[in-house]
Chains A and B, each alone.
Chain A
Amino acid sequence: MRRLARWATVTGTLVALATFGAACGSSDQGSTTASQGTSVETVPQGVKGGKVTVLAAGDVDFIDPGQTYYAFGYMVDYAVMRPLYSFAPGTLDTAQNDLAAGPPVLSDGGRTVTVTLRPDVRYAPPVDRAVTARDVKYAIERAFSANVPNGYAFNYFSVIEGTPKEPTDGVKPISGLQTPDDQTLVFRLKTKESGTLVAALVMPITMPVPPEYAKPFDAKSPSTYDQHVAFTGPYMIPNDPKTGKITGREPGKSIELVRNPNWDAATDYRPAYLDGITIQEGNTDAAVSSRRILQGSGLMQGDNAPPAPTIKQAVQRYPDQLKFVPALGPRYVSLNTSIPPFDDLNVRKAVNAIFDRTAMRLTRGGAIIGDIAWGYLPPGFPGFAESGGLKPPAEFDYLQDPDGDPELAAEYMKKAGYPSGRYTGDAKLLTAAINISPGSQTAAVAQNQFEKLGFKLNFRSLSPETMTTKFCGTPQAKVAICTNVATSADFVDPEALLKPYFYGPAITPSNNANWSELDDPKINAAMDAASALPPGDERVSAWADVNKQIVASAAAVPWIWDKTPLIASKDVQSLGNAYLTSWDLSFTSLKP
């Protein structure tokens, strides 16, 4: 499933030059101090050396940092390349300085953002030189060119002065990106609204790309840089030492990761214990691969989360080999507010009231897999506590009972004009669902809920790609219900979880993410106001309020804030990275 990577927000102040917030590792875990003096959680008994095999179902989408936009691609890319800022495992509270030497500095009321880079990060061979600010500038510029289709550059980085309106023919310079010297990168913005841009600096687009090396590849259509990527992380994929062509990757089969000879541990907060990692693809049967991981040695999970029965087995028999990392967003069932009868608020509230969300959760593994959701900001995410925490505020009576409240639902239907308490119209509601397990089971339970209220569904079971591109994401398809929505924050700021999915002007004719097609002027205005605020507590509170307004509109039925289960063999120890929602390869080690 092409789940767009989820994003952490940088809470606390990025503006100040002061220390970051303390890292929130639990005290019984080991920790080291990274070079900036902040403490980062690490594995308790990490030993250098050894190899681990990662079992994955599919392949990464791209290694090219300008094109990757998929959770599994992130898992690999963040081990072999370094963006300006990134997240260490275990916490979303603070972004670590990665390529950057310190937090970004806002000036000119927020219209200028200055990032200072470390001078001592080097590319792996064959590029084999120090990273400069010009490389990051080029990396961002190329994401706006037609040959490098990037899925988010236009959304989050168009606030930079001089960015084009449509993809350019060839890589063109952006006037708002300035590099007064090798270590300084200045963003000049069109407005003072720097919050989104600053939060988005953790995305792969800021991973450096050497222009003199990459230009010939980027001149091709589409760009072939993906086969010649330059590496800056603790690991790299083996390549040809003269041309840079990647040799350690067999698409669809495997990827080899070896140590990057030019990586200096003193410049990085990552420990990078392992000497090598092999990613083995094609393990499409999650039950089979999970079994192998649990019962074998030297294995860990890639992109294929264990199914519910395996989680049960792991909890009962291999508890030390199972960890959970919170997902970066809720799961919900979207109701298209532009299609009757879901244009009626009371009908939507009735649907929310009838939903047995506990039954939905059972299809994914039960209580262990997450909390019943009532809103769109998950636990641990900024804005969650400010919205009200785990329990829904009393004003949302239709979300108080996780098992569903049939009487309340009937009442709302009556208010909507259906005196029997059930839907009596003859509309057949087009419903898009996923055809692979466990999504297919969740969809079946969801269908059942609608039928309890008398709705008749035109139920279509689709592959995830079809569901996203041809049905739910295309307003023209007039899909009334999408049963398997799982949103994912691109960066750690509530805007990432609320704006793309519930903002009226965000609705596009293709690849639309606002599947509820919610276009409420009050909510839109509230989002505009919240988006303009600089990073900080005021911004978080404003977005928390937006969250509650969206819940009040009952535009969807949120049902779980789930956690991603991560499993590894008994001789492997690792940490789950909350931003990557996977194991962190740079924090993985064999047991001594």
Chain B
Amino acid sequence: MPARSPQRLLWERFRRDRLALAALVLLVVLVLVALLAPLIVSLVGARPPDEQSTAYLDAFGSATGPGSANLLGTDELGRDVFSRVLYGARVSLLVAFASTALILLVGVSVGLAAGYYRGWVDTFLSRVTDVMLAFPVLLLALGLGAACSIGAGCLTVDYGRIGVGLILAGAACGGLFVLWARSRDRRAGNAELHTARDALANFAPFALVIALGAVLAYAVGGRGALIQPGLPVVVVIVALGGWPYMARIVRGQVLSLREREFVEAARALGASDRRILLRHILPNLVAPIIVATTLIIPASILFEAALSFLGVGVQDPQASWGAMISDATGTFDTAWWYMTFPGVALVLTVLAFNLVGDGLQDALDPRTGT
């Protein structure tokens, strides 16, 4: 029997879990719906999501329910709920992916650095993580959102400049790191860092990732963005809430990995830090990171919905499932439809991610498989 690549093996195992497979299909459908929302809306003949209309409100301003004119009813401004649910998928998915990318970026970097280099780097980073974890996250998010008066409040600056600033900051950190490394080198001549060049080389991947993040930030929030303003702040806030968990998990994994024999062997053979990190540690981190990511994505979606529910998420008229539920709280006893449908959409989306995540976990860890 020819040897199968690990990816192939993973896929085979994943496929066997039919529920997870169905969930994956659902996810693909969801992404398609989000991307093709305008097309679907026009095909079905529904009105655009922003279109207000008093024709569907009664004399007291109450909305009409599902019917021939509006598939899923209207909200209190006469907007078509069906269209808004479809467009709401965009916000949820975009926030989920963008903020998860940010979380990975920051969390993995911090966790790696803390776990591998130990010493005061670890102490400092771990303390920062601890303080972040101590913050009541939702409160902090609320406060930042309210303070930034979402709607391009805090992040009104030019994203290109932010990106450049990030790169410069990264370079500055890298430079400081190099200096520190050299001084350690001179003092202790130990095997941790061979040359300053090595330290710089270690840091290069970080800088690259930061640059990527800057580009992503620009793409998400810059001119011609897919979504109205308000999104960048939400993405940042969700990422702010999530990175400590990723950092903790990664740090824990790195701590145990670095004591393993193959790492000791590599070091004994004279491998540099970067080599060890890239060839030995990172590959073994992929599985736990994937598992953590599958937990973080649905949590991010729910977090964004919670922020929108509390009024500090994406702005009107951009449709967001959480905001739609929030709008419905005053009238859900008489107008059940615009609370129900966004909620169901949320549940289905998060459920799909959770199922896929579970399936991945099972596929990655053969012991829990059949």
Tell me, yes or no, whether A and B come into direct contact in the complex with CB atoms closer than 8 A: yes
> Which residues in B have their C-beta under 8 angstroms from that of A463?
146
Task: Establish whether residues A312 and B60, one from each chain, have CB atoms under 8 Å apart when the complex forms.
Answer: yes
Q: Which residue of A lies closest to B317 (CB)?
A: A444
Contact of A309 with B62 at beta-carbon distance under 8 Å, contacts A435-B311, A444-B317, A448-B52 already known: yes
CB of A447 closer than 8 Å to a CB of B:
yes
Q: Which residue of A lies closest to B146 (CB)?
A: A463
Q: How far is the CB of B25 from chain A (nearest CB, A)?
A: 36
> Which residues in A have their C-beta under 8 angstroms from that of B54?
356, 358-359, 362
The B151-184 residues at the A interface (CB cut-off 8 A) are 151-153
Given A287, A315, A356, A466, which contacts B149 in the complex, CB threshold below 8 Å?
Answer: A466
The B328-356 residues at the A interface (CB cut-off 8 A) are 329-331, 334-335
- Interface 1/0 per residue, A271-309 and B, CB below 8 Å: 000000000000000110000000000000000000111
CB of A461 closer than 8 Å to a CB of B:
yes
Number of A interface residues at 8 Å Cβ cutoff, please give it: 35
CB of A363 closer than 8 Å to a CB of B:
yes
Contact of A459 with B76 at beta-carbon distance under 8 Å, contacts A362-B57, A366-B59 already known: no
> Which residues in B have their C-beta under 8 angstroms from that of A459?
151, 315-316
Q: How far is the CB of A587 from chain B (nearest CB, A)?
A: 29
> Which residues in B have their C-beta under 8 angstroms from that of A435?
311
> Which residues in B have their C-beta under 8 angstroms from that of A362?
54, 57, 60-61
CB of B364 closer than 8 Å to a CB of A:
no
CA distance A315 to B60 in the complex (A): 10
- Interface 1/0 per residue, A414-425 and B, CB below 8 Å: 000000000000
CB of A198 closer than 8 Å to a CB of B:
no
Task: Establish whether residues A309 and B311, one from each chain, have CB atoms under 8 Å apart when the complex forms.
Answer: no
Task: Establish whether residues B60 and A309, one from each chain, have CB atoms under 8 Å apart when the complex forms.
Answer: yes
Q: How far is the CB of A253 from chain B (nearest CB, A)?
A: 22
CB of A364 closer than 8 Å to a CB of B:
yes
- From DSSP, what is the main secondary structure of chain B's interface residues? loop
CB of B290 closer than 8 Å to a CB of A:
no
Q: Which residue of B lies closest to A368 (CB)?
A: B60
Task: Establish whether residues B57 and A309, one from each chain, have CB atoms under 8 Å apart when the complex forms.
Answer: no
Contact of A444 with B151 at beta-carbon distance under 8 Å, contacts A287-B330, A362-B61, A459-B315 already known: no
Contact of A363 with B153 at beta-carbon distance under 8 Å, contacts A309-B334, A440-B316, A444-B317 already known: no
CA distance A460 to B233 in the complex (A): 13
> Which residues in B have their C-beta under 8 angstroms from that of A437?
327, 330
The A315-369 residues at the B interface (CB cut-off 8 A) are 315, 356, 358-359, 362-368
Q: How far is the CB of B39 from chain A (nearest CB, A)?
A: 23
> Which residues in B have their C-beta under 8 angstroms from that of A462?
149
CB of B150 closer than 8 Å to a CB of A:
yes
> Which residues in B have their C-beta under 8 angstroms from that of A466?
146, 149
CB of A207 closer than 8 Å to a CB of B:
no
Q: How far is the CB of A79 from chain B (nearest CB, A)?
A: 30
Task: Establish whether residues B331 and A461, one from each chain, have CB atoms under 8 Å apart when the complex forms.
Answer: no
CA distance A309 to B59 in the complex (A): 11
Given A286, A312, A368, A461, which contacts B316 in the complex, CB threshold below 8 Å?
Answer: A461
Task: Establish whether residues B62 and A460, one from each chain, have CB atoms under 8 Å apart when the complex forms.
Answer: no
Contact of A458 with B152 at beta-carbon distance under 8 Å, contacts A287-B331, A307-B330 already known: yes
CA distance A359 to B315 in the complex (A): 21
Q: A residues near B, CB below 8 A?
A: 286-287, 307-309, 311-312, 315, 356, 358-359, 362-368, 435-437, 440-441, 443-445, 447-448, 458-463, 466
21 A/B residue pairs, CB under 8 Å, sorted by A: A308-B60, A308-B61, A309-B60, A309-B330, A359-B52, A362-B54, A362-B57, A363-B61, A363-B76, A365-B61, A366-B58, A366-B59, A366-B60, A441-B77, A443-B316, A445-B52, A459-B151, A460-B150, A461-B316, A466-B146, A466-B149
Q: B residues near A, CB below 8 A?
A: 50, 52, 54, 57-62, 76-77, 146, 149-153, 229, 311, 315-317, 327, 329-331, 334-335
Question: Ordered nearest first, which 7 A-B pairs have the shortest CB separation?
Answer: A362-B61, A312-B60, A460-B151, A366-B60, A359-B54, A287-B330, A309-B331
Known A359-B52, A363-B77, A466-B146; further 11 A-B contacts with Cβ < 8 A: A286-B330, A287-B329, A315-B60, A362-B57, A366-B58, A366-B60, A437-B330, A444-B316, A447-B316, A459-B315, A460-B149
